[in-house]
Structure 1
Amino acid sequence: MCRWIAYSGSPVRLEDLLYKPENSLIVQSKQSQLGVETTNGDGFGIGWYGDRGTPGVYHNIQPAWQDSNLLELAAQASSGRVFAHVRATTGTPVQQTNCHPFRHDRWLWMHNGAIAGFSEIKRDLVLAVDPDLYPAIKGSTDSEVLFYLALTMGLEHDPPAAMAQAIGFVEQVGHRHGIAYPIQLTVATTNGETTWAFRYSSEGRSRSLFHSTDISTLRQQYPDSPELQLLSDDARLVVSEPLGSLRGAWREVPESTYLTTHDGVEEIRPFSPGTTG
């Protein structure tokens, strides 16, 4: 599968997120502790927000640990909202258009997991995508198709409702094709102001997902921790696996829930897929 991190807070250099933590995303690309695959070397991507109307993205099919350009970029660029993803393909080609995060206007999206039997049900899924959105699909992954299904079903207006409808639709189609457990996911999406992160699977055994605890409290507990000094009090991280081993720094996102982060405030609510007519 894959590993990803979603950051929001005061601007930080990308290297502080990607390279400096004990169990950074670069480390996870080589030696994941909680992923299905140990190595996530089938490309990577980062997305970040600056002073333009849409976020910047950088993708490469190389393993993240091997890209010297990423190291240069991360040492210079900073942002208050960052998505980063390292990929382990579930069967689709290693190509730039299949690297996360995906972008549509102001929105970013990244996914860890899979739609079961995707090759069998892909036609049914893509035919449900809004015809005006369909030409924007550039790659061949189930992740990107799910993104455009969610956009079709109202992601830009009500992300939790759109996700419930999109996932419910995937499950309906999968069940029609005899697939017992059609979907497995952790997903993060953002419009640059709010981040939503979802953890759900048809089987009830989703991939790992964690969120950071209060930074100011941790800083008091660990005044000598260099990684905490890099983060502001309003910093929030949602990650596939903890970036370090500080006790109490991370909490697991519960199964079948979604987490919302806005202005340094987090909220976790139950999540279940809806159905379509």
Structure 2
Amino acid sequence: MCRWLAYSGSPVLLEEILYRPENSLVMQSKHARLGATAVNGDGFGIGWYGAVTGTPALFLSTEPAWNDRNLRELAAQITVDRVFAHVRASTGAAVQRTNCHPFRYRNWLWMHNGLIAKFPLVRRELVLAVQPELYPLLEGSTDSEVMFYLAIGFGLELDPPAAVARMVAFVEEVGRRHGVEFPVQMTVATTDGTTTWAFRYSSRGKSRSLFHSADVSTLRAQYPDNPALHDLADGSRLIVSEPLGDLHGAWLEVPESTCVVVKAGEEQFSGFTPA
């Protein structure tokens, strides 16, 4: 499938997140430890918020992340306090730039690991359920992008957890009507530039891996000789498909069927149920 990370906190160089950790996202693009596939080489994308406007910037490529010199150059120069990054393993959709995550709508970003089972069977009905004013914005051919625009139509900008719950319930209803027993497999992250929401859910109840970082102040006290921890503010947070390293206690698994909300350096967890 795919691997992704969502970071918010004190400003850091992109390379500190994408390249330097032992199990960095770029490393996961060719040697994922916990993914459904070890290699995630069907493109990558990063989305971040600059200082000028509230609209996030995107850098998307169909190159494997481990082999893209432009990504390495940018990562050494760009400082971010909020970033979404994603390495892709296609589940059937074409390897093309418009299929690379994260997807963008106004000030919103969205990325996904997983799939809508038997998507070609239900694609027409799902796409036609996208709001007419949003339909022209669909550029690619992935189930992930369709999920995003369905969620927007269900009220993502007003209440993200409720909108995602409605979207998942709708996809499951359509899928089961077409004989698909377990329609949805997902870890999803979305942000408006201020708050990050992440969801771990699957119709089968066996979702892809998802972890969040432990409190930085606790880790700093536990590992006083680790210089990397001293450069991060206490409110810095990471949500990742799999841990970026083996530091004991640094990574906590997000429970099954859970929504995580990260805002102003604080995390909140709640159960997630399609509705």
**TM, length-normalised to structure 2:** 0.98
**Equivalent AA in structure 2 for residue 124 of structure 1:** E
Q: How does 1:64-213 map onto structure 2 within 5 Å?
A: 64-213=65-214
> What letter is aligned with 1:17?
I
| Residue type at the aligned position of 2:221 | Q
Shift of 1:229: 3.0
Matched AA of 1:48: W
Secondary structure, in 3 states, of the residue corresponding to 1:76? coil
Q: CA deviation at 1:222?
A: 1.0
> Hey, what does 1:245 align to over in structure 2?
246
Please give the alpha-carbon distance, in whole angstroms, between the structure 2 residues aligned to 1:227 and 1:185: 31
> Is the Cα contact below 8 Å between 2:49 and 2:80 reproduced in 1?
yes
Residue 226 (structure 1) shift: 3.4
Tell me the equivalent position of 2:46.
Answer: 46
Equivalent pairs counted in the alignment come to: 274
Listed as ranges, the gaps of 5+ residues in structure 1 are: none
Structure 2 match to 1:11: 11
Contact 2:126/2:171, CA 8 A, preserved across alignment: yes
Q: Deviations over 1:177-233 (max 9, x none)?
A: 000000000000000000000000000000000000100110111122233234221
1:269 matched to 2:270? The reply is yes
| Contact 2:54-2:193 at 8 Å conserved across structures | no
Report matched runs for 1:27-38 at 5 Å: 27-38=27-38
For 1:121 and 1:231, locate their aligned partners in 2 and report how far apart those are by CA, in whole Å: 45
SS in 1 for 2:54: coil
Query: How many Å separate the matches in 1 of 2:85 and 2:245?
Result: 17
Displacement after TM superposition at 1:4 (Å): 0.2
Q: Which moved more, 1:182-191 or 1:221-230?
A: 221-230
1:20 touches 1:227 (CA, 8 Å); kept in 2? no
CA apart distance, 1:53: 2.3
Percent of aligned pairs with the same amino acid: 65
User: 1:38 & 1:227 partners in 2: Cα distance?
Assistant: 27
Q: Distance in 1 between matches of 2:54 and 2:6?
A: 19
Question: How far apart are residue 13 of structure 1 and its match?
Answer: 0.8
**Displacement of 1:39:** 0.5
* 8 Å Cα contact 1:21/1:227 also seen in 2: no
Deviations 1:228-267 (A, max 9, x none): 2342211000000000101000100000010000000000
**Structure 1 residues 125-158: Cα deviation after superposition (integer angstroms, max 9, x where no partner):** 0111100001111000000000000000000000
The code of the aligned residue for 1:198 comes to: F
Letter aligned with residue 131 of structure 1: P
Superposed CA deviations along residues 51-108 of structure 1, whole A, max 9, x for unmatched, are: 2120000000000010111011011101110000000000100000000000000000
Q: Unpaired segments of 5 or more residues in structure 2?
A: none
Equivalent residues of 1:194, 1:260 under 8 A apart: yes
Q: Equivalent residue for 1:25?
A: 25
CA distance in 2 between counterparts of 1:95 and 1:35 reads: 21
The CA deviation at 1:37 is 0.3
The letter of the residue matching 1:97 is T
